[in-house]
Amino acid sequence: MALIIDLKPGEKILIGSAIMTNDNQRTRLHISGDTPILREKDIMQEDAATSPSRKIYFLLQCMYLSRNPRDYHPKYFSLQKMIQEAAPSTAIFFMKINAQLIQGHYYKALREAHELITHEDELIASASGASLN
Partner 1 sequence: MPVTLTSPLKKSLEKLLPSGQGASSDVDSNMAAILDHHCRNTQSVISGLDSNLSILESQKSLCSEAIAILEEAAGLTVRARRFMDTPQDAVKYRDKTKEFEILFSHALEKLDTLVKNAYTDGVNLLAGETLPTKLDINGQTIMTTQGIILTPAALDIRQPNFETMMTLQTSRIDAMNAIDMAVTLRNIINADIETLLVRKDLAESYISMGELAQSRLGQTENLNETANLNKLSQDKALATEPLAEEEQQEILLNFASSAHMEAKE
Strand partners, 12: 21
CB count in 10 Å sphere of residue 31: 12
Are 84 and 56 contacting, i.e. CB atoms less than 8 angstroms apart? no
127 binding partner 1? (CB under 8 A): yes
**Least separation in angstroms between CB 103 and partner 1:** 4
Are 13 and 20 contacting, i.e. CB atoms less than 8 angstroms apart? yes
Cβ closest to partner 1, residue 31 vs residue 81: 81
5 binding partner 1? (CB under 8 A): no
* CA dihedral of residues 91, 109, 44, 83 (deg, nearest 10): 10
Binding site for partner 1 (CB under 8 A): 8-10, 12, 14, 17, 19, 21-24, 43, 45-46, 49-52, 55, 58-59, 61-62, 65-67, 69-73, 75, 77, 79-89, 91-96, 98-99, 101-105, 115-116, 118-120, 122-124, 126-127
